[in-house]
Structure 1
Amino acid sequence: MDLALWIAAFVLAAGFLPAGLMKASLSRETLVEKGMASLGSLPRGAVKLLGLVEVLGALGVLLPGLTGIATVLTPLAAAGLAVIMVVAVAVHLRRREFDRLAVPAVLLVLAVFTVWGRFGPYAF
C-alpha cells in the first residue's frame, strides 16, 4: 500500500506542478487560449495565487516523505489539493463542461486516497 501511496503522490505532483507553474507564470489570457477557459472569470491575482498554491501542494505531497522532515505536511498538502479539485469539479459542472471532469475527478480521488493513507494506517 505504501507503494500505491507513493505512486499517487508522484501522479499528483506530475499533475499539479506543471499546471501550477503555468498559472503562476502565464497571463490569464494565454491560459484561456490554452484551453483553461474557466480561469477567464477569475481575477489575475487569483489565478497567480492558485498557481502558487498548486506548486506548493505538488511539492508538499512529495518532499516531506522524501526528506523525512515534517511528514505531516504530506497529507495536509493532499487535503489542500483535494479542496482545489472539489472546486474544479464544481466549476466544470456549473459550466456544463462534462468533457473536462475526468482529470479533476481522478486527481481528487488520488488526493483523498493520499490523505486517508498518510493520515491513517500508512503514515510515515
Structure 2
Amino acid sequence: MNVALWIVAGLLAVAFLVSSAKLFVPKETMAGLSAASRWVEDFSPGALKIIAGLELLAAVGLILPAVLDIAPVLVPLAATGAVLLFVGAIITRLRRGERATAVGDGVYLALAAFVAWGRFFGAESFVG
C-alpha cells in the first residue's frame, strides 16, 4: 500500500508541476494550446497565477515533507488541497460544457482522494 501511495503521489506531483507552468506562460498562449486549455479564458491573469501557485505548492507538498521527514502530516493536507483543486476544475469544466475533459479531472480527483485517505487514515498514515 505504501508503494502505491508513493507512486500516486508522485504522478500527481508531476501533473501539478507541469500544470503550474501557468506561472510563466501567458494566458493567450495557454488558451491556444488545445481545446482542453480554453478554460483559462474564464479567469484573469492574476487568478491563473494563484491557481498555478496552488498547483506548485501541491506538487511540493505531496512529496517533500515525507521525503525529508519534516512535518509529513503536510502530505495528506496537500492531497486534500488537491482534491479541492480538482473539485473546482470539474465545476469549471461542467459549467463550460466540457464533460469529456471533466472525466480526466475526475480521475485525478480520485487519485488525490486515495492519497489523502491513505495518508490520513490508512495503514501507512502520516498522522499521529
1:79 aligns with 2:73: no
Which deviates more from structure 2 when the two are superposed, residues 93-102 or residues 43-52? 93-102
Q: Give the structure 1 partner of residue 109 of structure 2.
A: 108
Amino acid at match of 2:29: T
Q: Give the structure 2 partner of residue 26 of structure 1.
A: 25
Matches of 1:47 and 1:32, distance apart in 2: 12
TM-score (norm 1): 0.94
Unmatched 5+ stretches in structure 2: none
CA RMSD, Structure 1 to Structure 2 (Å): 1.0
Matches of 1:83 and 1:40, distance apart in 2: 21
Write the deviation string for residues 49-104 of structure 1: whole angstroms up to 9, x where unpaired: 11011011011001111111110110111111110100111111111112212321
Write the deviation string for residues 28-58 of structure 1: whole angstroms up to 9, x where unpaired: 1111011211111101100011101101101
Matches of 1:59 and 1:102, distance apart in 2: 25
Matches of 1:114 and 1:102, distance apart in 2: 19
The alpha carbon displacement at 1:12 in A equals 0.4
Matches of 1:38 and 1:92, distance apart in 2: 7
Matches of 1:101 and 1:41, distance apart in 2: 16
Amino acid at match of 1:111: A
Which deviates more from structure 2 when the two are superposed, residues 79-88 or residues 97-106? 97-106
Amino acid at match of 1:5: L
Q: Give the structure 2 partner of residue 2 of structure 1.
A: 2
Matches of 1:4 and 1:16, distance apart in 2: 18
Task: State the number of aligned residues.
Answer: 123
Matches of 2:81 and 2:30, distance apart in 1: 22
Pairing 1:1-124 to 2, within 5 Å after superposition: 1-20=1-20, 22-35=21-34, 36-121=37-122, 122-124=124-126
